[in-house]
A and B are shown apart, each in its own frame.
Chain A
Amino acid sequence: MHADPRGVLTGVHFLDGDHACCEGALTAGARFASGYPITPSTEVVERFAARVPTLGGIFIQMEDELAASIALQGAVWGGAKAFTVTSGPGFSLMMEHIGYAAMTETPCVFVNVQRGGPSTGLPTLPAQADMMQARWGSHGDYGIIALCPNSPQECFDLTIQAFNFAEQFRVPVMLMMDEVVGHMTEKVVIPPAEQIEIFPRRHTSKPPADYLPYETNGDMVPEMAHAGEGYKFHITGLTHDERGYPVMTVPAQDKLVRRLQQKIERAADEIALYEEEKVDDAEVVVVSYGITSRVAQRAIELARAQGRRVGKFRLITAWPFPEHRIRQLAQRTKAFVVPELNLGQMVREVERLAGGLSRVLPVSHAGGGVHRPEDILQAILEAAS
């Protein structure tokens, strides 16, 4: 199905990433957001609060991030498409409800405009140090999806993608922006609504008598009903069976938790989006994401100017990680260089998948700024030597 034209600001704009993210959410059909102010993410909901009353929707500022991250899920079960937006400390508070969304299979989007941490850290400055938290932050085993835009245009495009994945897989999707991308202003092209694909809610077509909230077929994703439609269903964060009823047994746990993880893992090739350039004959492949991918680009060009065969591999989806492709590349590349604004997070995935076949060189940065391209260049030259 196509986007509802009423929410779509078709045209060419000059927007920062936060504002573009808001437009992406409205284009995707989000008509509810619950938030709590936190730098550097608040501009997303500020724009939403201004825009959504003209589109028949609601923004509510809640009393904290715990409330914000569960109010949106109430709205989803009431029928809405909904999201919340936060940064570092707020993201930590939301972990409980990322788990709840994963367990109850509530389709929703969490936007995290990453800033320096831990704790209050660097409120106004960038980092990419919440990447592992995004994957593993809530207790227990589950699958999630995380996307990493590197421009305001992608903040728009990937917010729509985040909502589409959320609906397709009934999973919380995290849009892992960073402060630089959030506050950087660039050209954003919003296409006509009829050119924008929207994944509709997987609403059940069964009558209430035949409906089981967590019955699944081939693709492991159950169909949804909304409150107030006569289904009289039960939803719980406890381990549950197909009826949604709590069941405290090992087989029930095994069946449910494996499905929550596998519904994402088995579709990883479809979900794990990436961009690559000149990787086929590369001696070194630079793996990066978000703002760092644009800094790495300069380093790659400098290295190529010195005659090095350097490939670029940009993660658009961070989770699930593009395992197959990295394994393939590890067969023929001498080394991977992984710059990121943290002390080594996604690089662990690359190391794991390289499996000792190629060297893996992290280029760490504690956050607060971006890398100097020369530092990445140095790692490339070292890797190539």
Chain B
Amino acid sequence: MSEVRNPVEPFLRMDRMPHIWCPGCGIGTTVNCFTRALIESKVDLDHVTIVSGIGCTGRVAGYVKLDSFHTTHGRAIPFATGLKLANPKLNVIVYSGDGDLSAIGGNHLIHAARRNIDLKIVCVNNLIYAMTGGQTAPTTPNDAVTSTAPYGSYEPAFNLPHLVEAAGAVYVARWTTYHVRQLARSMQEAFAKKGFSFIEVLSPCPTLYQRRNKLGDGLETMKYYKEKSKVRNGAPTSEVGLTMQGEIIVGKFVDRDRPDYRELMRHRLAETLGDRYVECEELVCS
């Protein structure tokens, strides 16, 4: 009998399995979608690079068999900015969590969107700091109990699609880990899109968020995603804010074109420097 293999295995560092994620966690599901998107889009894997920050999602870089960088907390985007500028041939994916990208890394998130750096951001949003034990995140909805908001969170939460659209992202989508096919398709679209793309993926953290808020296990969360998600492609991002166990607007919200950073740089420098401008391709030193 021939050995049965998972089709995503060639994309994973199998020598690092088992992974650290909890049963019911959604991060693995997103990685599955990611590998599916890689397969479908037929991109040259030698030129796909993944950059993560710190946190549960930050560990993704360590498990996928690509050039991969596990950077410092919050700094995946500026690291990826340098990487992409040094080698424009790379398809650079930033794969990290909501706390990493929107709290400690929030400043970098908006500035990379403003500059329209050609990066694909996958933001796995589990509404909480999971790796450190379930503390409040900028995405934690009102009323939710966390280890640092034991009486319920009273901070307003970020509406991430609205934030990144305002800052200049050219592609903005949101899905949940229930929407695996839609998520994989969105990832594929983002790979092909020039400019700053942002995909938010709602994902359960049964160990810390669901348990502490008495919301059941991973399966219960899937049921919630299924029942309360509403696909509204093109929805105004100002209307897609999340509430505790409320309706989840999913879909592709933004898909627009504007010149990316490199194009803007090239245009300006060629115009002002003329023949003196030496266009950079790859900045490979010897």
- A residues with CB within 8 A of B: 1, 29, 31-32, 34, 53-58, 60, 62-64, 66-68, 70-82, 96-97, 100, 200-201, 226-238, 243, 245-246
Residue of A nearest to B69 (CB): A235
Q: Mark B60-93, 1 if CB is under 8 A from A, else 0.
A: 0110011111111011001111111111011000
Contact between A53 and B62, CB atoms less than 8 A apart: no
Taking the nearest CB of chain B, how far is it from the CB of A92, in angstroms?
15
Contact between B82 and A245, CB atoms less than 8 A apart: no
Contact between A79 and B87, CB atoms less than 8 A apart: yes
10 A-B pairs within 8 Å (CB atoms) are namely A54-B277, A63-B108, A67-B81, A67-B108, A70-B78, A74-B51, A82-B82, A235-B68, A236-B62, A246-B70
Contact between B82 and A64, CB atoms less than 8 A apart: no
Q: In the complex, which of the residues B62, B83, B86, B279 has the most CB atoms of chain A within 10 Å of its own CB atom?
A: B86
Residue of B nearest to A29 (CB): B285
Indicate if B286 sits at the interface (CB-CB under 8 A): yes
Residue of A nearest to B108 (CB): A67
Taking the nearest CB of chain B, how far is it from the CB of A205, in angstroms?
13
Contact between A72 and B82, CB atoms less than 8 A apart: yes
Contacting A at CB under 8 A, from B84-125, are 84-87, 89-90, 107-108, 111
Residue of B nearest to A163 (CB): B285
| Chain B residues within 8 Å of A58, by CB | 85-86, 265, 280, 283
Distance in angstroms between the alpha carbons of A98 and B169 in the assembled complex:
30
Total A-B contacts with CB atoms under 8 angstroms apart: 174
Given contacts A70-B82, A245-B15, 13 further A-B contacts (CB under 8 A): A53-B277, A58-B280, A60-B81, A62-B81, A70-B71, A70-B78, A72-B82, A75-B283, A78-B83, A82-B82, A82-B86, A228-B89, A235-B69
Residue of B nearest to A68 (CB): B78
Contact between A53 and B278, CB atoms less than 8 A apart: yes
| Chain B residues within 8 Å of A72, by CB | 82
Taking the nearest CB of chain A, how far is it from the CB of B20, in angstroms?
9
Indicate if B1 sits at the interface (CB-CB under 8 A): no
Residue of A nearest to B109 (CB): A63
Distance in angstroms between the alpha carbons of A75 and B78 in the assembled complex:
10
Contact between A97 and B83, CB atoms less than 8 A apart: no
Residue of B nearest to A55 (CB): B278
Distance in angstroms between the alpha carbons of A236 and B54 in the assembled complex:
10
List of 4 A-B pairs having minimum Cβ-Cβ separation, nearest first: A78-B86, A74-B82, A79-B284, A71-B82
Contact between A97 and B75, CB atoms less than 8 A apart: yes
Distance in angstroms between the alpha carbons of A82 and B13 in the assembled complex:
30
| Chain A residues within 8 Å of B80, by CB | 74
Residue of A nearest to B65 (CB): A232
Taking the nearest CB of chain B, how far is it from the CB of A104, in angstroms?
8
Distance in angstroms between the alpha carbons of A57 and B84 in the assembled complex:
13
Contact between B283 and A79, CB atoms less than 8 A apart: yes
Known: A53-B269, A228-B49, A228-B90. A234 touches B13 (CB 8 A): yes
Residue of B nearest to A233 (CB): B67
| Chain A residues within 8 Å of B265, by CB | 58
Q: In the complex, which of the residues A80, A238, A246 has the most CB atoms of chain B within 10 Å of its own CB atom?
A: A80
Contact between A229 and B46, CB atoms less than 8 A apart: yes
Distance in angstroms between the alpha carbons of A57 and B285 in the assembled complex:
11
Contacting A at CB under 8 A, from B227-286, are 265, 269, 273, 276-286
| Chain A residues within 8 Å of B49, by CB | 227-228
Contact between A70 and B67, CB atoms less than 8 A apart: no
Distance in angstroms between the alpha carbons of A58 and B75 in the assembled complex:
20
| Chain A residues within 8 Å of B65, by CB | 232
Contact between B85 and A60, CB atoms less than 8 A apart: yes
Taking the nearest CB of chain A, how far is it from the CB of B101, in angstroms?
13
In the complex, which of the residues A53, A79, A245 contacts B285, with contact meaning CB atoms closer than 8 Å? A79
Residue of B nearest to A6 (CB): B278
Contacting A at CB under 8 A, from B36-72, are 45-47, 49, 51, 61-62, 65-72
